[in-house]
């Protein structure tokens, strides 16, 4: 086999084995460690400093029963989807000025995708879907 063809096949094999933008749930779970001081997720999750995050995607801001939200969060009138969450988690105070969430944000796009994949596993009841 020619060296150029051999190199091309190698590159193709490597890129096929590692999709560039794939979501990695295990990496998202590691990223979740940044969140767990204030939030819970899963069966039996409770509100802490922040609300539990079960069933986050599709939910409206300020909607978790029993959690005392800021007026800004209640009035934001947002529905959590991947794009809204990505904007928010990069800089919570920029997305919802007046939120009481104190978090510097996650700037890395891949880490946000991975965290999103991890969070999307959990339904409203906290069970993995």
**Cα-based angle 39, 47, 96 (whole degrees, multiple of 5):** 65
Q: What is the pLDDT of residue 46?
A: 98
Top-confidence residue, 4 or 123: 123
Q: What CA–CA distances, in Å, run from 62 to 30, 53, 70, 86?
A: 26, 12, 8, 17
> Does 101 reside within a domain?
yes
Confidence of residue 1 (pLDDT cuts 50, 70, 90): low
User: Tell me, what CATH number does 98's domain have?
Assistant: 1.10.760.10
In this predicted structure, the answer to whether residue 94 has a pLDDT above a threshold of 80 is: yes
> Does 2 reside within a domain?
no
In this predicted structure, the answer to whether residue 20 has a pLDDT above a threshold of 60 is: no
Range of the domain at 92: 23-119
How do residues 26-73 score in pLDDT, each as one tens digit?
999 999 999 999 999 999 999 999 999 999 999 999 999 999 999 999
> Does 6 reside within a domain?
no
Nearest to 103 by CA among 47, 55, 33: 33
Confidence of residue 22 (pLDDT cuts 50, 70, 90): confident
> Does 1 reside within a domain?
no
> Does 10 reside within a domain?
no
Give me the number of domains the chain comprises.
1
> Does 14 reside within a domain?
no
> Does 67 reside within a domain?
yes
Considering the entire predicted model, what is its pTM?
A: 0.82
Query: Using CA atoms, how far apart are residues 128 and 116, in angstroms rounded to an integer?
Result: 14
Q: What is the pLDDT of residue 10?
A: 42
In this predicted structure, the answer to whether residue 17 has a pLDDT above a threshold of 90 is: no
> Does 125 reside within a domain?
no
């Amino acid at each position: 086999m020619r060296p150029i063809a051999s190199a091309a096949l190698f590159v193709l094999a490597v890129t096929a084995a590692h999709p560039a933008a794939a979501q990695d749930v295990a990496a998202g779970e590691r990223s979740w460690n940044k969140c767990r001081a204030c939030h819970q997720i899963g069966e039996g999750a409770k509100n802490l400093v922040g609300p539990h995050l079960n069933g986050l995607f599709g939910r409206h801001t300020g909607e978790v029963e029993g959690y005392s939200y800021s007026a800004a969060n209640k009035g934001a009138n947002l529905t959590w989807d991947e794009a809204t969450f990505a904007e928010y988690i990069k800089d919570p105070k920029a997305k919802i000025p007046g939120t009481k969430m104190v978090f510097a944000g996650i700037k890395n796009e891949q880490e946000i995708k991975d965290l999103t994949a991890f969070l999307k596993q959990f339904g409203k009841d906290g069970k993995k879907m």
